[in-house]
Structure 1
Amino acid sequence: MADNSKSFSTGDFLPLSDADRSHLDSEKITAPSQTFLQDSWRRLRHNKAAMICLVILIILFILSFGSHFFQTHNPNATNPDLANLPPKIPGLDINGFNGTLMQSGERINAYAQAHAHAGTYYILGTDYLGRDLFSRILFGTRISLTIALVASFFDLAFGVVYGIISGWLGGWVDTLMQRIIEIILSIPNLVVMVLLIVVLKPGMSAIIIAIAITSWINMARLVRAQTLELKNQEFILAARTLGESSFKIAFKHLLPNLSSVIIINLMFTIPTAIFFEAFLSYIGIGVSAPQASLGTLISDGQKNFQFLPYQMWYPAIVLSIIMIAFNILGDGLRDAFDPKSNRK
């Protein structure tokens, strides 16, 4: 029988040159390793509408909370001699932004008619008391975004914790906690606000307490439902078998898997809270004078809408931009965090 064995020498094993190994790259089928958050951020970046809304919201945050450093006028300072002046931007000679108004079919310089000092201008005009509308809109936007932060805090601090505890413990504890939620849900938000006004005066304090009582309910119910589904999964059962505490399981295993649900629901809770504050201020039981809110600015502007429409249009446009931006960003986050969505 012939011996087919062959001896090998060191020279038979040589490293491949770059040219020889170039074909190996075409055979790779794996993508770069990414975490869930990195992959979600990649998909969110490809959503142009959501990214534009994110930039708009960042700009609004900077303008509203940084208005102390660049506001041209005190938002609460009154000057009846300069009341109801139209918008005027220095160097811009465009009707609607050059300080002119139509009166009796003739366009007049409202600033000259009011005997305003040279160099006086208001970017978005003044209201019926001569207060700077631009500064008041910035102040009102700050209140709306503060309400958004407050609603986010209570959603995360109470809603998430309440939902995890209810879903994780189950049994009679879950039943009792859900009955409490149903009792709170049975009371309309407006009734809660009116009852608070009986005890407190209208203002931010009453609105914040009303949000603290009711805003976290939807988050708690959604987190509870997801917790009930996750707590019977294999990785949770394995952690319990290894003797990990419930607290560690909640923060190490449950929260990462609930992060997408929490973020998405949070982005839809925020515009609801902003609209709630604007509505209360609009009907006169929210932020009280002389403080400005987008709701109070729209209410005041409506009274002069026929003759001075800009007093209502500008705060209404800012409120609409905030609401639309949060909703579109929420849609983008839902698509980015949904593992079943089409990957781009």
Structure 2
Amino acid sequence: MADNAKHISAGDFKPISAEDRGNLDSEKISAPSLTFLQDSWRRFRKNKAAMIALIILIILFILAFGSNLFETHAPNATNPNLANLPPKIPGIDINGFNGTLDQSGQRINAYAQAHAGSKYFILGTDYLGRDLFSRILYGTRISLTIALVASFFDLAVGVVYGVISGWIGGWVDTFMQRIIEILLSIPNLVVIILLMVILKPGMESIIIAIALTSWINMARLIRAQTLELKNQEFVLAARTLGESSIKIGFKHLLPNLSSIIIINLMFTIPTAIFFEAFLSYIGIGVSAPQASLGTLINDGQKNFQFLPYQMWYPAIVLSLLMIAFNILGDGMRDAFDPKSRE
């Protein structure tokens, strides 16, 4: 066997030329290594619709929570002498934004008739002479506050509850799911009405109702996904290597649960916004004189035939919020899902 073995000598080796060395270098992976968040952001930026929705929401957040800087008048200040004035933007002579109204086929200057002087309202006034622009900003702030509260309880309660229930399993899972079924059997509207018996109508009642019920769907979805993921090979390997449950949860479960969390969160937010607007519209939400998009739409529809702008503007803002959150959710789902393909 030793005689048949081929003898390797120094002559069998040949130095690599500069051209061959260049070809080897060209086969190296030159792209930088990206973390999970960096790769998700890179994919998210390619989604133009989601980026536009994000920009719209950022602008609305800035206008709403910085409303003290952008308000042209106090949102609750009344002036009956300036009631039902149309929108007026100085320097713009376009019907609908020049302070004129169509009465009996003629355009009249409503500001001159009301002796408004140098005052102007860029989105007009309501039936009590309150600035509609400032009130829309205030109502948007309430809607976004409700969205943030719903998001907090979805993440802080729903995700944690679902992961614990699915990860532990057994009688603990059964007991936790029975609690959810009891809460699901009580409609949200009943909860808010019962709360109003104890508390006065307003933000407190709505926030407590959301805190009690908004996280349930998130918990059920996360629990179902956790039951599936905890038997996957990568989780079993991590447990075999002695990883703690907390580390497995943050390192392995959350990245794979991120798409479910984002999808449900982006459905929860517009649902919570619409829930608050609906309650305020029917008169059991935010009470006067505080402004809400729901109360503004309710007030505007009373004069819709003659002054449609009083309902259109808050309705447009409410629609923008809900559409933007849904489009943003679709974009974040695609960006954060580890299984998604470009």
Shift of 1:37: 2.4
Paired residue for 1:151? 150
1:183-231 CA-partner distances (Å, limit 9, x unpaired): 1111111111111111111100000001001100011011101111111
Paired residue for 1:176? 175
Paired residue for 2:214? 215
| Alignment of structure 1 residues 207-286 onto 2, 5 Å | 207-286=206-285
Q: Secondary structure at the match of 2:107?
A: strand
- Does the C-alpha gap of structure 1 residues 52 and 25 become closer, same or farther in structure 2, counting only changes over 3 Å? farther
List alignment gaps of at least 5 residues for structure 2: 1-6
Partners of 2:253 and 2:180 lie apart in 1 by: 22
Partners of 1:6 and 1:245 lie apart in 2 by: 54
| Deviation beyond 6 Å, 4+ runs, structure 1 | none
| Alignment of structure 1 residues 58-207 onto 2, 5 Å | 58-117=58-117, 119-207=118-206
Q: Secondary structure at the match of 2:323?
A: helix
The CA RMSD over aligned residues, in Å, is: 2.3
List alignment gaps of at least 5 residues for structure 1: none
- Does the C-alpha gap of structure 1 residues 14 and 68 become closer, same or farther in structure 2, counting only changes over 3 Å? same
Partners of 2:323 and 2:246 lie apart in 1 by: 38
Deviates most, 252-261 or 60-69? 252-261
Paired residue for 1:43? 43
Paired residue for 1:289? 288
Q: How many pairs are equivalent?
A: 337
Shift of 1:239: 3.3
Partners of 2:32 and 2:241 lie apart in 1 by: 32
Kept in 1, the 8 Å contact 2:255–2:338? The answer is: no
- Does the C-alpha gap of structure 1 residues 80 and 216 become closer, same or farther in structure 2, counting only changes over 3 Å? same
State the identity %: 83
Kept in 1, the 8 Å contact 2:71–2:134? The answer is: yes
Partners of 1:253 and 1:340 lie apart in 2 by: 13
Partners of 2:99 and 2:264 lie apart in 1 by: 44
| Alignment of structure 1 residues 283-322 onto 2, 5 Å | 283-322=282-321
Partners of 1:337 and 1:248 lie apart in 2 by: 20
Deviates most, 74-83 or 226-235? 226-235
Partners of 2:9 and 2:164 lie apart in 1 by: 70
Shift of 1:282: 0.5
> Which residue type is aligned with residue 72 of structure 2?
T
Q: Secondary structure at the match of 2:101?
A: strand
- Does the C-alpha gap of structure 1 residues 101 and 22 become closer, same or farther in structure 2, counting only changes over 3 Å? farther
1:79-119 CA-partner distances (Å, limit 9, x unpaired): 000000000000001010000001111110000000112x2
- Does the C-alpha gap of structure 1 residues 128 and 26 become closer, same or farther in structure 2, counting only changes over 3 Å? same
1:41-96 CA-partner distances (Å, limit 9, x unpaired): 22211111111000000010001101112311000000000000000000001010
Paired residue for 1:337? 336
Paired residue for 2:3? none
> Which residue type is aligned with residue 157 of structure 1?
A
> Which residue type is aligned with residue 221 of structure 2?
L
> Which residue type is aligned with residue 123 of structure 1?
I
Q: Secondary structure at the match of 1:102?
A: strand
TM-score normalised to the size of structure 1? 0.92
Q: Secondary structure at the match of 1:85?
A: coil
Shift of 1:7: 5.6
Partners of 2:336 and 2:202 lie apart in 1 by: 37
Shift of 1:340: 4.2
Q: Secondary structure at the match of 2:306?
A: coil
Shift of 1:172: 1.0
Kept in 1, the 8 Å contact 2:256–2:338? The answer is: no
> Which residue type is aligned with residue 73 of structure 1?
H
- Are residues 1:33 and 2:33 paired? yes
Shift of 1:325: 0.3
> Which residue type is aligned with residue 112 of structure 1?
A
- Does the C-alpha gap of structure 1 residues 264 and 30 become closer, same or farther in structure 2, counting only changes over 3 Å? farther
Q: Secondary structure at the match of 1:227?
A: helix
- Does the C-alpha gap of structure 1 residues 93 and 41 become closer, same or farther in structure 2, counting only changes over 3 Å? same
Shift of 1:34: 2.3
> Which residue type is aligned with residue 50 of structure 1?
A
1:113-135 CA-partner distances (Å, limit 9, x unpaired): 00112x21000000000000000
